[in-house]
Chains A and B, each alone.
Chain A
Amino acid sequence: MMRMRTLFSSVAVVAVLAAAPIAQAVRKPSLVLERVNGRVELRSGSSAPTSIDENKDRGRVLYQGDVLTCRDGASFTVLNSAFEEHRIDNCTSGYVVSAPTGASAAVLERYGRTGGRSRGSMLGLLLWPVTGIRTTPATASQLQWRKQSGGTLAATLKEAGSGRVLWTRSGIDAALGALRDADLAAALRAQVDAGKPAPVLDVRISDALNASATITLLDRAAEETLQQALASAGRDLSGDALHLVRADLLLERSLPREALDEYVAMLEGAPESTLLLTKASALAVEISDPRAADLVRRARAAGGS
């Protein structure tokens, strides 16, 4: 039964898209009615409202400007242009079907960023590690997540592709917000040694609250070269000069998180340094580090970026 429904919906969506150029001359098709729960009325154009039949109208094409009004706490579900289901339940005063939004946003990405207030003003659950930011096993094993008021967190490291579990730990206090795990570091190290430097980390508090990140690890040869360079710098330098050189070496190898840690370490000694705050805030913004907001604020206060 479910399969039939899915098939029916898919056929309807394809039919909508295929019929779009023909229908465009009159009204533009926008959504497909997927499910109806309760009594819903449809007003299309200037015609009088008609009741939606739960069975007959499944897969019905909804056009720009159509109004669906729910009676007695009814709701309905539509398929959008990406075949995603959307449940509409705030419809007692009439839900107006939007005009098709088109696909110009993807084209505009070459020109600029969309900007505007983020839809979710909070960051995601997993703060570190982050997909797309290169790092080392030692740094990647320092997990950071948004602190919760309670509950426990489970984290699992899986091999990319096969999904084989490499490390797992449950019962972590979700209120902690951070965890450093030696076994996780060892598992990550083993992946680097095996030449598989892109494992996936899943964290989960509940079914509704989970996140994952693909960890991009520095390969073994590059890490050895880096360690040699860092050791060489350590022999010749100390204090802030050492941190500065280490930060440069790390940035040269595209390890922004590690470089940021060096700048943050320097900031402990010189908390109002405009230069350090500018560099640290720029790095933190670039990698969406949870410290970004604080660093940017401090940098502005210090007169930097």
Chain B
Amino acid sequence: MKNRVAARAWRRTPSWLRVFVFLLPLMFAQRILELTSFEKTIESLAYRVLQARLHADASKIVIVDISDLQAVDVNGVPQKDARQQDLMTPRAALDDLAMALTDACAKAIAFDIDFSPDRNVFIGQEDPQFFKRWSELGIPVFLGVARAAGGPPESWLGNPEFARMAAGIVVPHATGSVAENGMPGPYPVYIPRLEPPGKNDASRGDDNLPTLAVALATAADGNLKRTLLGADSPLDAFTKTIADRPFGEGPNIPEFAVNYSSLDQLETTRILAKWDTNGRLAATNDWSSVADKLVLIGDVKGASADDTFHVANGQIASGVVHHAMATATLLSEPLRVFKPAARVVVDIVCITLVMAIVLPLKRKPPRWIRRRFHISTNKRNYLWWPAAKCLVILVLTAFGAWLVLRWGHVLWIDGFAVAAAGVLHAALDEPMETAIDKGMKHQAAHT
């Protein structure tokens, strides 16, 4: 009796509503998919494809490559063969460079070199004197900090006086990829203080170390914080430019997504600094192209394995190029991702559209096709229509992803996972429905 009622109810259910019944397990499957590596594979592929469609303007940024600058010992003597911990980038040569760039009217300078003290000892014995000198150049100068990142501000460059010049150069392991939590292609906004404050450390609210790209971009754009935090765009209601990455028991690290499309442009404008035999800046260098530009100084050509990172398309870039691309991202337009609630809404809208428009497509093909090609009903039901549906779903998803990327710089990478679920359904819809119909008929015949 119950079966007969169920069969009657099923027959009376409109076909578009029947799809809901099939989609419930499918939506469940999609959620399970999110927990597997397959979901990540789809998202990673989508991320790479979308990255290739991006454009970031890096015309305000110049990289100065100091690969040819020979390391020296603490006395400033070139020592090719000393232990690495006994070597450093010669400060006098960097001072020459800072002066030359200031004279050439650079807008700001950032060094991708870790200047923080090593176990309470300054790397260069005269570092504080150089820091002081660079702080008085008249343009913003940012000095890389890695060893002391996460510590209190006075530890960043060994003295609270220089804390405002400090900029974090820690690059996430997940760079260039879609990480578990946080942003795809992540770059930190700042490194929060990881060590608990001491008794005498009054919390001043500025214990977070800004990263190199953020510090540099802020020097060029006073409204950067406002842009990053989202206060201007109508998209802010359902998208975000910063995501917090949980980090152990410590504070979260906020991250934004890097637009890697400026890589080639940065390569073409890069300047290789030349040095004379005494290790001082050669007079033959031409600095005319740095006027009113943000200048990043670091090792490109000879970057060590520790300073080499993957970018979105599988290419490898040195740390300074990575920081430059992050700066270009901030100056162009930060990338966005959907907020969690918006993501669920978008998923539901997409699934509804697929259910209402794409999946019910079962009409006979146009007459001219039927005349030209003799397609059997079975082939039509099990092959042509599922294939057409899959194609429509994929094209619509790609178009949708492209549209939100162009319109709002939104990386909708999980849309392709939704599409995968839709494709799976389109392929299995007909066999499933036939099987259920057969089951119902069989049940009715028995009763």
- Which A residues have a C-beta under 8 Å from some C-beta of B? 21, 24-26, 28, 30-31, 64-65, 78, 80-82, 84, 86, 88-91, 93, 95-105, 107-108, 110-122, 124-125, 146, 148, 205, 208-209, 278, 281-282, 285-286, 288, 292-293, 296-297, 299-300, 304-305
**CA separation between A24 and B81, bound complex, in Å?**
40
The answer, yes or no, to whether B215 is at the interface (CB within 8 Å) is no
Nearest-Cβ distance from residue A222 to partner chain B, whole angstroms: 26
Q: Which of B17-25, B247-255, B426-434 contacts A (4 or more CB under 8 A)?
A: B247-255
The answer, yes or no, to whether B85 is at the interface (CB within 8 Å) is yes
Contacts of A209 in B (CB 8 A): 81
The answer, yes or no, to whether B198 is at the interface (CB within 8 Å) is yes
Contact B128 A96 (CB under 8 A): yes
- Which B residues have a C-beta under 8 Å from some C-beta of A? 66-67, 69-71, 74-75, 80-89, 112-114, 116-123, 125-126, 128-129, 144, 146-152, 154-155, 158-160, 169-173, 175, 188, 191, 194-195, 198-200, 245, 247-248, 250, 253, 267, 298-299, 301-310, 313-316, 319-320, 322
Nearest to B117 among chain A residues (CB) is A98
B interface: dominant SS: loop
Contacts of B86 in A (CB 8 A): 120
Say yes or no: A88-B81 contact (C-beta < 8 A), given A101-B147, A119-B87: no
Contact A25 B159 (CB under 8 A): no
Contacts of A21 in B (CB 8 A): 198-199
Say yes or no: A104-B169 contact (C-beta < 8 A), given A115-B306, A119-B88, A121-B70: no
Nearest to B191 among chain A residues (CB) is A108
With a 10 A CB-CB cut-off, give which of A148, A208, A286 has the most chain B CB atoms. A208
Instruction: Give me the 3 closest cross-chain CB pairs, A-B, nearest first.
Output: A104-B150, A98-B158, A114-B146
A interface: dominant SS: loop
Contacts of B303 in A (CB 8 A): 117-118
Q: Offer 24 A-B interface pairs, CB within 8 angstroms, sorted by A.
A: A24-B198, A24-B200, A28-B198, A80-B121, A96-B122, A98-B117, A101-B151, A102-B152, A103-B195, A105-B149, A108-B170, A113-B307, A115-B171, A115-B319, A116-B146, A116-B298, A117-B303, A119-B84, A119-B85, A121-B69, A121-B304, A285-B316, A305-B310, A305-B314
Say yes or no: A25-B200 contact (C-beta < 8 A), given A90-B126, A108-B149: yes
Contact A115 B169 (CB under 8 A): yes
Contacts of A108 in B (CB 8 A): 146, 149-150, 170, 191, 194
Contact B126 A93 (CB under 8 A): yes
Contacts of A288 in B (CB 8 A): 304-305
Say yes or no: A111-B306 contact (C-beta < 8 A), given A80-B121, A81-B119: no
Contacts of A116 in B (CB 8 A): 112-114, 144, 146, 169, 298, 307, 319
**CA separation between A111 and B86, bound complex, in Å?**
27
**CA separation between A88 and B75, bound complex, in Å?**
10
Contact B82 A120 (CB under 8 A): yes
Contacts of A102 in B (CB 8 A): 148, 150-152, 155, 195
Contact B307 A117 (CB under 8 A): yes
Contacts of B159 in A (CB 8 A): 64-65, 96, 98-99
Contact B112 A117 (CB under 8 A): yes
Partner of A124 from the list B84, B118, B158, B308 (CB cut-off 8 Å) is: B84
Nearest to A123 among chain B residues (CB) is B304
**CA separation between A286 and B308, bound complex, in Å?**
10
Contacts of A120 in B (CB 8 A): 71, 82-84, 86-87
Contact A115 B154 (CB under 8 A): no
Contacts of A119 in B (CB 8 A): 71, 84-85, 87-89, 114, 123
Partner of A111 from the list B169, B253, B267, B309 (CB cut-off 8 Å) is: B253
With a 10 A CB-CB cut-off, give which of A78, A115, A124 has the most chain B CB atoms. A115
**CA separation between A146 and B82, bound complex, in Å?**
12
Contact A292 B128 (CB under 8 A): no
Contacts of A293 in B (CB 8 A): 301-302
**CA separation between A81 and B122, bound complex, in Å?**
12
Contact A98 B122 (CB under 8 A): yes
Say yes or no: A101-B155 contact (C-beta < 8 A), given A89-B75, A119-B123, A122-B80: yes
Nearest-Cβ distance from residue B143 to partner chain A, whole angstroms: 10
